[in-house]
Amino acid sequence: MESLALAVTILVSPAMFGGPIALLLSLFRPDRMSGFRRIFILVLALPSSVIGIFLIIENISRGSTTVGALGLSTGLGALWQLKRHRRQTP
């Protein structure tokens, strides 16, 4: 039973925590965003979006659908912020 709980935690954690953290990082001073921060946001936002889509499509329960919607919306919001505030190279 402990291994099942660990598997669920590993699966749900990126959607529950990765998306909101990525969104907060992308909203904090977007004009002075370093390359490392951009990569870190991508590392958090992409798995959050993918796992969010998985949780929504699988339709396991209302809780997992809610966590999936949270992960998907915040992950896509962070990716949108990255696209909006991309540096213009001369």
pLDDT mean across residues, the chain: 83
Instruction: Show the tokens assigned to 37.
Output: 């921060």
Q: Which domain holds residue 39?
A: 2-84
Mean pLDDT by 10 residues, the chain (90 residues): 82 86 83 79 90 87 87 89 68
H/E segment holding residue 5? helix 2-13
Judged by phi (left if over 0) then psi (alpha if -120 to 50, else beta), residue 87 lies in beta
pTM above 0.75, yes or no: yes
Structural domain total, the chain: 1
Residue 33 lies in a domain: yes
Residue 57 lies in a domain: yes
* Three-state secondary structure call for residue 84: helix
